Chain A
Amino acid sequence: MENPQKSLESARQRFSQLVSALTNFNNVLRHGPPDQLPPWSTLQSQFNVLSASLASVSTVLTQHFPPPQETPSALVSYPLPSFPAQTQSILLSMLCNKKPNAPVQDWFVQGLNDPAVTALSTADKAEQNEFWKAVQDAVAEQQDSRSWYDELYTLEEREGEGGVDAVSTGLALDELGDPVRREEREREKEKEKVGGGLRLDSMFRFMETGVHPRDQPPLPTGQPPGGGMMKR
């Protein structure tokens, strides 16, 4: 980004174009008798305008604010490390909240209980499911066509047993079709450790005192008993 002012200015122009297109579309929708949409040719032309302005916004953004390509400065998309989390904690928690807020949740409930939805027959539902399945396939195709940062593995993951193929990215599915969770793998690893291996501390204690790990009393935590007396 050589000239931030210029970049911001052109982004602002494209955004205002998008806003005016949206306002225009809104006006068209509200125009005319209620409960009736404008003719499809009008809608079509409005959609074209909207789609063109969205595309130009997207172009400007990628051109002037390119996403990090090789060395991402952070592994999370947001909040970025530069976000003033100290002073804006309320805003941050609002942004990070995955649960929809109360009014939105009300809309969900309303929509699900809508007579138009509840009155659907099983045949209708099956048809709907089929439709969504097709959508899912289309999305999956799009996902496959993009490179999801193939190189984004840690050194540990690369050097670990089985290489990057053994890494659970959260995108993989298990036999039941549920995503394989990273924590599950970690837990399994932990189990392996408990299954046989000794802790470094136990081995140190054996080396120093010759007491076999199975006979070692637990190490005192915090202050040793009678700390004052044994002060060294």
Chain B
Amino acid sequence: MAKPQHVTQFQNSHQELSLYSHIPASRQPPILRIISGITGMLPENSLHHHLVFKPKRPKQPGGGGAELYYVQLVSKVEEMEDEKGKENRGYELRKQKWKMTLEDIPEVTRKPVTSRSVLSSNIAEGDAIAFVESLGYTFQSAYFTRSSRLMHGNVIIKLSQILLPQPTPPSSTPAPGAVFGNPFPTSSLTTLDPAKSWILKASVRVQSNQDVESLNTGVNGLKGFKELMKGMCDLEIAERLALDTRVR
């Protein structure tokens, strides 16, 4: 498999095995309760800020050369409310703890789960956005995910919803960094899907794609969870091309 460029810039890599299900808005609360019951834990709720970057350099004509991939910066948004319940604190984009991730297109496999390799690197200090731009990427778009996370054995269960920042009015002069979106106030975020549906993702991380034994354990864990959820939701393999992160 052709490894993407900039591989050396990533500290961590793992293979992610996953299954997905589309949850209508009305079904989200009962599903969450059921999973909470199965796992015996309360969901860990969080809000994440995602910035999608696209390589500046166009793909070489003729299909030659290395594939180019979208990369993302992801950071967790701390939702702290002060005494007055005011959450509109100064959100400092460039002071967030960002993580840069590159997800490969899911591999062609006969496994009953989606399998892709994921590279990631925590950016400890400095201006993450400037760093990514210096690597030859340009900002594409921003979104937020509100998600509840639970664990069942090795399976990470994430029930999430995609949120969009409030569009900046074109007339006013945009504040610096406004294109990246501000999560506050959180009530201003709108759902991408007008029907406000949720995505249930069950995944298992395996250190290496060469480790067949661990991969099988992971696949079986996911299969077991799928069986457990039967009747409540159908966990399926994702359409491979829908998860394509290559630049076209």
The docked-state distance in angstroms from the alpha carbon of A212 to that of B52 is 12
Query: Which residues of chain A are near B30, meaning CB under 8 Å?
Result: 159
On whether A208 and B239 interact (CB within 8 A), knowing A197-B195, A198-B193, A200-B199, the answer reads no
A72 within 8 A of B: no
On whether A209 and B238 interact (CB within 8 A), knowing A198-B197, A226-B63, the answer reads no
Per a CB cutoff under 8 Å, which of B22, B52, B142, B231 touches A200?
B22
The docked-state distance in angstroms from the alpha carbon of A159 to that of B31 is 11
Query: Which residues of chain B are near A197, meaning CB under 8 Å?
Result: 24, 193-195, 197
A116 within 8 A of B: no
B238 near A204 with CB under 8 A, answer: yes
A207 near B70 with CB under 8 A, answer: no
B162 near A203 with CB under 8 A, answer: yes
Query: Which residues of chain A are near B88, meaning CB under 8 Å?
Result: none
Instruction: Name the interface residues of B166-225: CB closer than 8 Å to any CB of A.
Output: 192-195, 197, 199
The docked-state distance in angstroms from the alpha carbon of A196 to that of B194 is 5
Total contacts A-B at CB 8 Å? 87
- What mask results when residues 229 to 244 of chain B are scored 1 for a CB within 8 Å of chain A, else 0? 0011000001101111
B141 within 8 A of A: yes
| Chain B min CB distance to A166 (Å) | 13
Measured as residues with beta carbon below 8 angstroms from the partner, the interface class of chain A is 20 to 34
B143 within 8 A of A: yes
Instruction: Name the interface residues of A6-63: CB closer than 8 Å to any CB of B.
Output: none
Query: In this complex, what residue of A is CB-closest to B162?
Result: A203
A198 near B140 with CB under 8 A, answer: no
Per a CB cutoff under 8 Å, which of A204, A210, A220, A229 touches B52?
A210
| Chain A min CB distance to B126 (Å) | 23
Per a CB cutoff under 8 Å, which of A155, A204, A213 touches B239?
A204
B16 within 8 A of A: no
Chain A residues proximal to chain B, CB less than 8 Å: 155-156, 159, 161, 193, 196-213, 219-220, 224, 226, 229-230, 232
Chain B residues proximal to chain A, CB less than 8 Å: 1-2, 20, 22, 24, 26, 30, 50, 52, 54, 63, 70, 103, 105, 108, 140-143, 145, 162, 192-195, 197, 199, 231-232, 238-239, 241-245
- Report 11 cross-chain contacts, Cβ distance below 8 Å, ordered by A residue: A155-B231, A193-B195, A197-B193, A197-B194, A198-B193, A204-B242, A205-B242, A207-B143, A207-B162, A209-B70, A211-B140
